[in-house]
Homo-oligomer: A and B are copies of this chain.
């Protein structure tokens, strides 16, 4: 598990974010902590699968964990992550708009 270069570390972070369900979970935590059961309902994942996602993100320093009685609350550890996401989403939006334009053009061409 010993990572060395900046590229390996960076890749490890990206790998952790390269799963739609994990990104969705992060989004659900955007406005504050949630329990595992709440996240089960929100995500639609099986409890065991969710638990593994949460643990992975926690081990990578993305999530914080807090126990209170029987419940465990998870929360985002660093709001900067959301900033970085914003840049990606902007790129994606730009790309989506391009695709929509292309789709429009194709429709126009096809309808002639």
Q: Which A residues fall within an 8 A CB radius of B? A: 5-15, 17-24, 27, 61, 78, 80-81, 83-85, 87-92, 95-96
Residues of B within 8 A of A14 (CB): 14-15, 17-18, 23, 88
Among candidates B12, B18, B89, B96, residue contacting A11 with C-beta atoms closer than 8 Å: B18
Nearest B residue to A5 via CB reads B20
- A7 CA to B20 CA, complexed, in Å: 5
Partner of A18, one of B5, B18, B22, B85: B18
- Interface pair B7/A24, CB less than 8 Å apart: yes
* Residues B90 and A80 in contact, CB atoms below 8 Å apart: yes
Extra pairs beyond A9-B96, A11-B23 (15, CB < 8 Å):
A6-B89, A6-B92, A10-B17, A11-B18, A14-B15, A14-B17, A14-B23, A14-B88, A15-B18, A61-B95, A78-B91, A80-B87, A84-B84, A84-B88, A87-B87
